[in-house]
Amino acid sequence: MVAPLQNPPHPKERRLLFANLARPDFTNDIACSLKHGGYEDLKKAIKMKPADITAEVKTGAVRGRGGAGFPCGVKWGFIRPDNTKPVYLICNADESEPGTFKDRYIIHQDPHQLIEGMVISCFAVNAKLAYIYIRGEFPEGAKILEKALDEARTKNFLGKDILGSGFDCEIYVHRGAGAYICGEETGLIESLEGKRPYPRIKPPYFPAALGLYMCPTIVNNVETLCHVKHIIKMGGAEYAKLGRPNNTGTRVLCVSGDVMKPGNFEVEVGAVTMGELINDMCGGLKPGRKLKAIIPGGSSAKVLRADERFKLKSKDADGNPVEKEIGIEDIVLDFDTLAAIGSMAGSGGVIIMDDSRDMVETLANLNEFYAHESCGQCTPCREGSLWMKKITARMVEGHGADSDTATLKSVADNIAGKTICAFGEACAWPTQSFVAKFREEFEAKSKPTAVAGDGHHDEPTESEIALAGVEQ
């Protein structure tokens, strides 16, 4: 399995992390990694002061690549300077956000880049014990990581007195077992502690204060930790020149759905627009098809309608506020722009839907995902996610009712903002946005549309949900 990268790369790509993955002869053993600059930056970092590493990461201003986009350096800075408890670093390798497929390849094809980034990060925050929480469905990835960690130990990049610095650090692989909620940092921590992965209430359980075993804990995404290596390599200031202010560095976009060439594209943040991504890099839509909808940042991101007009506020050359209206193809793919137009950059998973897709069925597919993955701890998400799934399933089957569209919106509104963790928003935003933006399709199904003589089902068959509207 190799990352679906284009060869040669599109001119707009900037392969920083995926440079090695693009090499046809690159293998995941340490010898190959060392040949291509592996662990050079650890050697550099281990001679720096930990506070200086954090300062570089802050200057680099890299934002979390797991989905929340929170500035990494700021997160590290939340650990109290007077802390005396052990600090833990956890690599969130639980890649489960539908539409996202980047960490998989780093883990399987270039694990040493991740390990190097982790050891540098551990050194920066003084974490002597770290875990890679890898989703259970990557069994081969876990084995690859175990082997890579062993190799790193032999070379003294890990373990006691790393490269003679006096710093001890150990990293272990910890496998998950099929729960999306383990991607939520406090859910992950609970899972690592051996309990049901119920996210914690914040306050008071902010991981930087009360994380793993109630000690300060930093949870970072795989990609983010790799960026740390590159920040050390080129220096924070240089790194910050990539991308745009407040949206620095590169990121790996994952495009799937109704495009000719789905795959991974590493670009400077904000260097491409949606149109460039779809048309120039992905080869456009399938023949005879028109764009209908895009989910720009993993399934939890609010959907964008192809013919939507987006209002963007900015300042002109004289500093006067200016409002611009743009179309979907003009959307610049960075964190701030996507947030400004009412969605999010999230995990970088871009899902393209053309006009062969039924939006009610699409939402039904996602609602089933969220209902399945809800941990069940808090009332609104536990009850609401399954309710929304039942409604859209019933609508797809043709047994919609008058009230369904309004109920969907209302239920989603009652979940978002009321839950313990962001899963509430994650499961509510798809329903809110699909219903709002494709109202006519939902209204059309808010009445019985099953053909007379259909056998009545309690719930639609899975094939009914999936095959209708899915043209091969």
Partner 1 sequence: MSMQVPADFEAKIDAVILRYPVSKRSASLPLLHLWQERFGYISPYAIEWIAAKLELEPINILELVTFYPMFRQKPVGTCHIRVCRTLSCAMAGGYGLMKQLCEKTGIERPDHPDHHDPIAVSSDGKWSIEFVECLASCGTGPVCMVNDDFHEAVSPEKIGELVAHYEEK
Partner 2 sequence: MSTATETTVQMLNVQIDGVWTQVPAGTRVIEACQTAGKFVPHYCYHPKLSSPGNCRMCLIEMGMPKMGPDRKPELGEDGKPIIGWIPRPQISCAQNVAEGMGIRTDSQMVQECRHGVMEFLLINHPLDCPICDQAGECRLQEFSVEYGNAESRFLDEKVKKPKKVELGPRITLDDERCILCSRCIRFSKEIAKDDVLGFVDRGSYSTLTCHPGKKLENNYSLNTVDICPVGALTSNDFRFKMRVWFLKETKSICTGCATGCNTIIGSREDKIYRQTPRENEEVNSCWMCDHGRLDFHYLHREDRLKTPKIRRGNTLVDATWKDAYDAAALALKKFSGEQIAILASARATNEELYLVQRLAAALKPTVIDVIARPGEADGILVSADRNSNTNGARLFKITGETPGSHTPVLAEKVNNGTVKALICLGENPLDAGIKPEALAKLGAFVVMNILPDAATPQAHVVLPSAGFAEKRGTMINGKGRLQRLNAAIRPPGQAQVDWEILRDLILALTGQNGIYTIEELFKQMAAETKPLSGLSLAGVGDQGTLLAL
Residues that bind partner 1 (CB under 8 A): 1, 4, 95-101, 103-104, 129, 135-140, 172, 174-180, 191-197, 213, 254-258, 262-264, 299, 349, 351, 353, 357, 362, 365-366, 368-369, 372-373, 375, 457-459, 461-463, 465-467, 470, 472
Which phi and psi angles does 294 have, rounded to 5°? -135, 135
Closest CB to partner 1 among 271 and 359? 359
DSSP conformational letter for 126: T
Residue 109 binding: pick among partner 2, partner 1, none (C-beta 5-8 Å cut-off by kind) = none
Judged by beta carbon, residue 76 or residue 387, the one nearer partner 2 is 387
Q: How many residues bind partner 2 (CB under 8 A)?
A: 36
Q: How far is CA 110 from CA 31, 32, 216, in A?
A: 12, 10, 29
CA 464 to chain centre: 30
CA angle 331, 337, 340 (to 5 degrees): 115
Interaction partner, residue 308 (partner 2, partner 1, none; CB < 5-8 Å by kind): none
At closest approach, how far in Å is the CB of 61 from partner 2? 25
d(CA 87, CA 94): 21
Piece in contact with partner 2 (CB under 8 A), picked from 221-229, 240-248, 272-280, 389-397 = 389-397
Q: In this structure, what are the phi and psi dihedrals at residue 219, rounded to the nearest 5 degrees?
A: -110, 120
Angle between helices 111-125 and 50-60 (to 10 degrees): 120
Give the integer Cα–Cα distance in Å for 410 and 41.
51
Angle formed by the axes of helices 222-234 and 111-125, nearest 10°: 80
Q: Which does 136 bind (CB under 5 to 8 A by kind): partner 1, partner 2, none?
A: partner 1
d(CA 462, CA 448): 19
Only segment of 76-84, 158-166, 197-205, 239-247 that touches partner 2 (CB under 8 A): 197-205
Nearer to partner 2, 334 or 373 (CB): 373
Nearer to partner 1, 247 or 377 (CB): 377
* 293 token code pair: 């909808």
Answer yes or no: are the C-beta atoms of 401 and 443 closer than 8 Å: no
What's phi and psi for 208, nearest 5 deg? -65, -15
Whole-angstrom distance, CA of residue 309 vs CA of residue 92: 36
Helix axis angle, 404-415 relative to 423-437, nearest 10°?
Answer: 150
For residues 303 and 353, give the distance between their C-alpha atoms in angstroms, rounded to a whole number.
10
CA torsion through residues 265, 268, 274, 279, sign: negative
CB closer to partner 1 out of 406 and 467: 467
Q: How far is the CB of 1 from partner 1 (least distance, A)?
A: 6
Which entry of partner 2, partner 1, none binds 256, CB below 5 to 8 A by partner kind? partner 1
- State yes or no: residue 372 binds partner 2 (CB under 8 A): yes
Selection from partner 1, partner 2, none that 366 binds (CB < 5 to 8 A by kind) is: partner 1
Q: Is residue 409 at the binding interface for partner 2, with CB under 8 A as the rule?
A: no
Omega cis (within 30) before 448: no
> Minimum distance from CB of 203 to partner 2 (Å)?
6
From partner 1, partner 2, none, which one binds at residue 145 (CB under 5 to 8 Å depending on kind)? none
Interface with partner 2 (CB under 8 A), residue from 12, 43, 147, 390: 390
394 binds partner 2 (CB under 8 A): yes
In this structure, the number of other CB atoms found within 10 A of the CB of residue 444 comes to 15
Per the CB < 8 A criterion, the answer to whether 355 and 289 are in contact is yes
CA distance 349 to 189: 24
Contact 152, 134 (CB under 8 A): no
Using CB under 8 A, which residues numbered 203 to 242 contact partner 2?
203-204
- Residue with smaller CB distance to partner 2, 306 or 339: 339
Interface stretch with partner 2, choices 24-32, 147-155, 210-218, 401-409 (CB under 8 A): 401-409
Q: Is 386 in the site for partner 2 (CB under 8 A)?
A: yes
By CB under 8 A, tell whether 420 contacts partner 2. Answer: yes
Residue 383 CB, nearest approach to partner 1 (Å): 16
**Considering the complex, what minimum distance in angstroms separates the CB of residue 130 from partner 2?**
28
What's the min distance (Å) between Cβ of 13 and partner 2? 38
Pick one of 159, 407, 444, 466: the residue that binds partner 2 (CB under 8 A).
Answer: 407
Q: Report the 3 state secondary structure along 388-439.
A: HHHHHHHHHHCECCCCHHHHHHHHHHHHCCCCCCCHHHHHHHHHHHHHHHCH
> Using CB under 8 A as the criterion, which residues of the chain lie in contact with partner 2 when the complex forms?
179, 196, 198, 201, 203-204, 371-380, 382-387, 390-391, 394, 401, 403, 407, 413-415, 417-420, 458
